[in-house]
Amino acid sequence: MKMIRYTYLILLNMLNMFSFAADLQIGTSCVKITPPIGTPMAGYYYMRGAEAVHDDLYAKTMVIERNGEKVALVSCDIIEITAELAADVRKMAEKSTGIPQDHIMIGATHSHTGPVILSSSNIYRAEGKMYDLLLDYMKALPGMIAESIEKADNNMQPAELSFGTGYEESISFNRRFFMTDGTVGWNPGKLNPMIIKPAGPIDPEVGVLYAESARGKPLSTYVNFALHLDITGGLEISADMPCTLSEMLGSVKGEEMVTLFGQGCCGNINHINVKSPAPQKGHAEAARIGTVLAGEVIKTYARLEPLEVDRIKASSEIVELPLAEFSEDDVAKAREITGKFGERDAAPFMEMVEAYKIVDVFDRKGKPIQAEVQVFTLGDDFAIVSLPGEVFVELGLYIKERSPYPYTMVIELANGSVDYIPDRKAFLEGNYEPVSARCAPGSGEILVEKTLEMLNVLKNR
């Protein structure tokens, strides 16, 4: 009798496992995408080539499936994902995995110590070996990212998902400030006596989407936090802060766990505490910040709530954003400045920023910016939104506060890169981000409206 009961329990456990497998499957992968030494580095308005590799760059993927419906979350340690790059990767991945292109979300962490990412609207010029290295890298990059998706898809297993939020306000700061002269400053410098107060908020929420196998093995942690990644600087290739974040979480959950960093809306956020005189640049500072963020994620592990993923839904729409305006005289002056590309002091910084914007917008020949808004939902409680630019924190907060889903992540710089997307208020205030923005005032609000519309449609579908 005992043997019959024991056999029954074993069979029941096996049936539960098979049921679990039919419900939720997850696969993860990590593929190295480090460019060769000498490759032009991204992020600044002058040319610089990589002289060494401090830590490798990766394309990391988590594929989630329930009853044949799949979505792929991809995070790449590069400054941006252009629309052309996203399209190439999606085509390759769909061919090798069958995952629909609009079910693939490809985000960039925004590391400023990675390669330049070329696109049709990218004003970048280099000569000789440096440019040849970049061209070769750009030819190989789509395949490497697609390989990450394919490997994750080939690595599916029964799994569970859980989600939680932490709170960390000591490592991110709004970089725009009300000044005593009546202006709004941008990165006005540490201990500047003209600073009155920040001109906007931060988003201290740390979103943690955690996956483990049916047997309790850690598979993946997707961390969503709003922090502009220009901490390390220099001429060494580096993933910046997410490198330490991944190492720290791996030391707790196991080195095989894949940590993805999804960049939050940080168009006006950085790591600089203007009230502190301490230097805040370099690998040590990136490691410090990554450690602090990892600590909050580890604390959040203890309060994760299981996600009941009865259904996966996906939606993607292209939104047209109006272009910034300028005069014909502005174009002539801008072309003169951009013609000096590569010279470190070709023009005053803000004039250079505006010149690049004007030439880029002019070359669009009046065609509105095509911006993709993408939404995935996992069950009734969780949604992840992606937007294609450097989005102001106020816009991301608005989406999260008004989402019909209890848990909502908002990822910027995904599936495309349309430069800065400020809110209306910032366009009136001026300075760096509005000067750089290719889109016209009100574009951010257009994206927010479309995002909330899509979230509500999926909630009721």
The 10 Å Cβ neighbour count of residue 168 is: 20
Would the pLDDT of 405 be above 70? yes
Same structural domain, 285 and 338: no
Residue appearing with tokens 């789509």: 142
Q: Please list the residues that pair with 269 across neighbouring strands.
A: 174
Q: What token pair was written down for 104? A: 């693939």
Q: What is the DSSP letter of 101?
A: G
d(CA 152, CA 72): 9
Q: Which are the contacts of 396, defined by CB distance < 8 A and separation ≥ 6? A: 203, 226, 264, 265, 410, 412
User: Mean pLDDT over residues 157-164, rounded?
Assistant: 98
Same structural domain, 201 and 336: no
Q: How far is CA 14 from the centre of its chain?
A: 39
Q: What is the pLDDT of residue 223?
A: 99
- Indicate the pLDDT class of residue 12, thresholds 50, 70 and 90: very low
d(CA 461, CA 75): 28
Would the pLDDT of 123 be above 70? no
Same structural domain, 177 and 68: yes
In a domain, 381, yes or no: no
In a domain, 222, yes or no: yes
Q: Which are the contacts of 82, defined by CB distance < 8 A and separation ≥ 6? A: 117, 118, 119, 122, 416, 417
Which has the closest alpha carbon to 122: 75, 186, 162, 79? 79
Q: What is the pLDDT of residue 23?
A: 87
Residue appearing with tokens 């430069």: 419
Same structural domain, 298 and 343: no
Which has the closest alpha carbon to 324: 421, 436, 440? 440
Same structural domain, 233 and 303: yes
In a domain, 165, yes or no: yes
In a domain, 220, yes or no: yes
Q: What is the pLDDT of residue 343?
A: 66
Write the pLDDT tens digit of every residue in 27-36: 999 999 999 9
Same structural domain, 40 and 69: yes
Q: What is the pLDDT of residue 129?
A: 86
Same structural domain, 284 and 346: no
Would the pLDDT of 94 be above 50? yes
In a domain, 315, yes or no: no
In a domain, 399, yes or no: no
Q: What is the pLDDT of residue 8?
A: 45
- Indicate the pLDDT class of residue 45, thresholds 50, 70 and 90: confident
CB 259 within 8 A of CB 246: yes
Q: How many residues does the chain have?
A: 461
CB 407 within 8 A of CB 434: no
Would the pLDDT of 11 be above 50? no
d(CA 48, CA 41): 6
- From residue 88, alpha-carbon distances to 67, 145, 152, 375, 434 in Å are 27, 10, 18, 20, 30
Would the pLDDT of 298 be above 90? yes
Is the pTM here over 0.85, yes or no? yes
Same structural domain, 177 and 263: yes
Dihedral, CA of residue 294, residue 296, residue 298 and residue 299, to nearest 10: 170
Same structural domain, 196 and 345: no
CB 167 within 8 A of CB 297: no
Whole-number average pLDDT of the chain: 93
Question: Of all residues in the chain, what percent are helix, strand and coil, respectively (each to 5)?
Answer: 35, 25, 40
Q: What is the pLDDT of residue 1?
A: 47
Would the pLDDT of 457 be above 70? yes
- Indicate the pLDDT class of residue 2, thresholds 50, 70 and 90: very low
d(CA 44, CA 421): 18
Q: What is the pLDDT of residue 15?
A: 42
- Indicate the pLDDT class of residue 163, thresholds 50, 70 and 90: very high
Same structural domain, 111 and 242: yes
Write the pLDDT tens digit of every residue in 317-335: 999 999 999 888 899 899 8
More confident residue, 329 or 289: 289
Which has the closest alpha carbon to 187: 393, 320, 349? 349
The one-letter code for the residue type at 273 is N
* pLDDT over 70 percentage in the chain: 93
CB 131 within 8 A of CB 55: no
- Indicate the pLDDT class of residue 21, thresholds 50, 70 and 90: very low
In a domain, 170, yes or no: yes
How many structural domains comprise the chain?
2
Would the pLDDT of 337 be above 60? yes
Domain residues for the domain of 84 are: 21-309
Would the pLDDT of 341 be above 70? no
Write the pLDDT tens digit of every residue in 355-375: 989 999 998 889 999 999 999
In a domain, 14, yes or no: no
Rg of the chain (C-alpha set): 22
Same structural domain, 209 and 301: yes
Q: What is the pLDDT of residue 347?
A: 81
How many helices (DSSP H) and strands (DSSP E) are in the chain? 11, 22
Least confident of 41-45, 141-145, 220-224: 41-45
d(CA 378, CA 64): 9
Q: How far is CA 235 from the centre of its chain?
A: 22
Same structural domain, 203 and 337: no
Type and span of the H or E element at 453? helix 443-459
